[in-house]
Amino acid sequence: MTGRDGGAELEPIEPSPVVILVRPQLAENIGSVARAMGNGGLFHLRIVAPRDGWPQERAWRTGAGAHRILDSAVVFDSVAAAVGDLHRVFATCPRPRHIIKPVLTARGGAAEVVAIGQRGLRCGVLFGPERAGLDNDDIACADSLIRYDLNPGFMSLNLAQAVMVFGYEWWLARQDEQPMRELQTNETVPATKADLDHFMAHLIRECDDSGFLKNEQKRPGMIRNLRHFFNRGEITRQELNTLHGVVSELVRGRKLRPR
């Protein structure tokens, strides 16, 4: 699931929301966040009061090529300043208490971010510091909350993974339709049913010849089972050729032997 590709060409896909890291502690995590943002097609990164200052070389090391995102990151003193030019702000937060605000899932939040962007408005999403999460003052800067639907028995979510899940949902939300199942085409040529039939005939002929299908009563059922099996999923021409070869070679001994 890896490979360093395309980091150099990362560019904003507009309208794309701003990821706002609030008081992040570890520069390594900021780099991992940038990588996750790249995966999800996000680009705009803002950092509020990073504990160890900014820039930090360590971030570029864990960024796995998402340099442009880190190069373009902007630092702010406060959440209020960081969200100043935005129209809508979401706060990710596992357990909102004493707060009444709309609470969305990651999927619902991403859909709303996309819808808002389509209206020409700018969105931001707040992610809290590694240990403590967002505090009440941070959350007060947000319009809505995003609470991830995950195992309530183990909510300890890594910062970059929180950004990953949001970016993943945002990437999907941008697409109108999501194909559930596609087939590879590439250079491989899928076999037609006639190609398959040709192989089945070959196989059955040899099975008959070898005596495997000699029980007349069981023969139709056995052939049906074989056909079921070889009809499961798509076969390529190449694979059929291999199977032809297997059958031909396996029986070669018998053919050489006078019966």
Q: Measured from the CB of residue 88, what is the shortest distance to its own copies in angstroms? A: 13
- A 10 A CB-CB count for 93 gives 23
Asked whether position 84 contacts its own copies by CB under 8 A, the answer is no
Per the CB < 8 A criterion, the answer to whether 139 and 125 are in contact is: no
Residues 95-134 that bind its own copies (CB under 8 A): 96-108, 111, 127-133
Query: Considering the complex, what minimum distance in angstroms separates the CB of residue 119 from its own copies?
Result: 16
31 binds its own copies (CB under 8 A): no
Q: How far is the CB of 99 from its own copies (least distance, A)?
A: 6
Residue 159 near residue 125, CB atoms below 8 Å? no
Which residue, 120 or 211, has its beta carbon nearer to its own copies? Answer: 211
Q: Are 20 and 124 in contact (CB under 8 A)?
A: yes
Query: Using the rule CB under 8 A, is 217 a contact of its own copies?
Result: no
Residue 216 in contact with its own copies, rule: CB under 8 A: no
Report the sign of the C-alpha dihedral through residues 204, 205, 207, 212, in that order.
positive
* Ranges within 138-157 binding its own copies (CB under 8 A): 148-157
The residues, ordered by sequence, that sit 6+ positions from 191 with a Cβ below 8 Å of its Cβ are 234, 235, 236, 237, 239, 240
The minimum distance between CB 155 and its own copies, in angstroms, equals 6
